[in-house]
Structure 1
């Protein structure tokens, strides 16, 4: 049975974990062989154990996950019954056991090594079953919450969309929250723009077999401009479009057009690096957190030391972003008055003003040293933000976007730092230039680019280059 790229990526990840568990099972068996012989009333003779039979690991570690995949152990994890998992594990371990047993007999292994094989095999079964049940439990509970489901719009005629959803693999369907259906033939493309924006859509699935190509192409362009994935039934689209890839949704072939970084090991490494680094930075900067909290309380009493504001996250989905408060308590109420009296140094929907009178003196120091940004590390640990990415904007500024292509900067996670900050913060006064830099980052993204921008951010923070 064919599988999609996302499922293949998940299977490979689980196989790596399982290979590590197989190694750990035999390593644990080697540690337990002495105590077990003593419990059985036998003398412990150090015959080398696993150290003398490293070939076991060369066979068991890579082949166990491969045989499990052949038996379907990694498929339909959310709905799989424990009986099926046990059956697949027993059959896979039987095949591996036959190979190892034959080699053990042929090699005339001592009883110590045979004990390691037996105990190791039992531990492999227990460890892999526990891992499989843990993943099953997580998926079963994680997908029942609407907020964890992927927000999807299905586009096509009423008949074609109904047929598509009815035929879709139920295991795949559970991961979707269909937030809208768009009739391509009778609706205007502008309505799709509004739908993508209002519902924070992550993917549009086109199931429009009888709709004219020109109208579908306009809808695809709407998705591409805003950085939303467009999935098109491969039997329908028979032309070349920028950055197309083929994937499977269940067993349905799809043509996918992506204008943001695709799922990859590099992207997974970024996610792990972000959270681990953010957690370490929180610990290492704990003294600065205390310094900021005390200073704010003494300099501007009457309001919390932390400032929380709804910002636009990936695909425009709102999240609570945290900072240390650097403005007077009623700063939001004063915004219109400040704009009227002092104007705006940034053209477009974003507000920026050097020497904003709402910033109190100690708050200006926090901004100069970028200490006010530290609470955003909590957002990174939570997964709402990344260390590097387009800066998150308040919802009212995102709603004021004039051009739909500006929303493509929302197609990746927002970040604490980005290209324009790393290269001399707050020097840009053109919103178009800002967006161009963000889109250049998205189009050329790599994990190494993130590392370079982080390294460039360090001197920008330490020496206050461009900070206001």
Structure 2
């Protein structure tokens, strides 16, 4: 909150004071207080929200609300300061707020990796569902849930390894208070702060409703799993026809304004990039040509949207006979990727200059030509090779439902260090949940990933 207040108030105070505007201190105080009030009213400081999200769109929305509030105050109290100066002074506010949010998010993730800033969760439900939930939560450390105990229905053996705090009767009991007593006793023993329920055939709606009453009366929060995975919250809408709680899942965005904005941003951004980076292209071409024999560019057939083949361009980072040597390396078991892609941390085919280009992701820059031609996007899944696509199953083929990208979730999440299953999961998450603002966020995070260089080989 202090960063938000200073980010709005201090620049405005300095600018208005420097330009001899009336009441600079009072204006700065009102603007800072208004910024805090707007963000507090929109729950930006709530414990379950603070540090969780890094998107710039909510901050921009808050800033526009602040401008509206200040405009009304200015109208009510008359001429105070020149609007252009006030707007310039306020412009630093959302930028500093975003910087503070990113720092808070990084600190929060670091805390969670050391089991801090988390909620102790008791998971109850069908044994198979309980095992799946515990495994899914344990696979990542960027969320707030740590499972401290489980309460399965029936006597089936669990594989998750989490302590079984109690068991519910496999048959719906006549006296459902037995369920509540077992769950509440387990929650108290494990110091659980939340009960997460995975409903199933033996945990009926009526049984769950009775359990929820007991948890509410005891002051213990309840969460229910709908059985959905990797569906963005913005795609989910609640409804209650005839008292039934129904989740409406919006389909992925395939047409409309956001698709048009994405296409326009892709082509305009790629064309501008080619123009601005022309001198860098020349330097890279000179370095490649002077250090290894062969062409400057490497052309390769890749598959794009709807399995359409196209020629992808890259700066050459390998020796000229790299494709011929790939089969030999695969026979020798040199592939370090556990899936369909071929990856080696120390690939002998990569040239000295090529290693540097890959480390800085400069080898990908010629793909801006593919973006201008409409074959690729700035953000999207990586375009696969034909022999990879030939071995895809129906799940992996869904990666080709959108245009491939120069960067994407794979690059900002570890690149070649990711397993094949992790790569596919990230690509499918993008295909189903992409948005224009999400693309902007990925491009901003790409800059950090390129500087970091993790997984680039």
TM-score, structure 2 length as denominator?
A: 0.45
TM-score, structure 1 length as denominator?
A: 0.44
